[in-house]
Structure 1
Amino acid sequence: MTSHPEATDTTPLPHSRDLRSAENDLKLLRSRLRTVAEFIHDSAHDFAARHALAQRLDLPVPAPAPATRQTKEATR
């Protein structure tokens, strides 16, 4: 009877390098998408630019900023 070696073979699979590369690319793209989404929803930037970018990238568009509240000094 012949014994079979345990499943301890550390030889990389033929496509493992390609898969790792694709996973790294996906990680980078997700990071960039997160950065873009943060920009789109950051009211410190121009609303028209954020809205246009969201539409162009087929992402949810930002909600318009609520009307600014008047301060006591502005109403005097």
Structure 2
Amino acid sequence: MKDLKAASDLFQANKRRLFQKSLAISFIFLTMIAFVVIYILWGDRAIDFFSDPLNVRNLVARHPLASRLL
């Protein structure tokens, strides 16, 4: 019975690690897709906007949630 419990614990740990890895890869993939969509929609204007620190500070000051996304 102990072997079954140990195997079950190992399986759960591997399952949890796989979930965390897939979640991290999904987040990175969605972030990359978001930047591609932003570039397609706004082009060089978006790059110019985000490369100016003053614009980014003003954006974060107006929208506090933006600080979590940037």
Normalized against structure 1, the TM-score is what? 0.43
Higher relative contact order at CA 8 Å, sep ≥6: structure 1 or structure 2?
Answer: 1
TM-score computed with the length of structure 2 as normaliser: 0.46
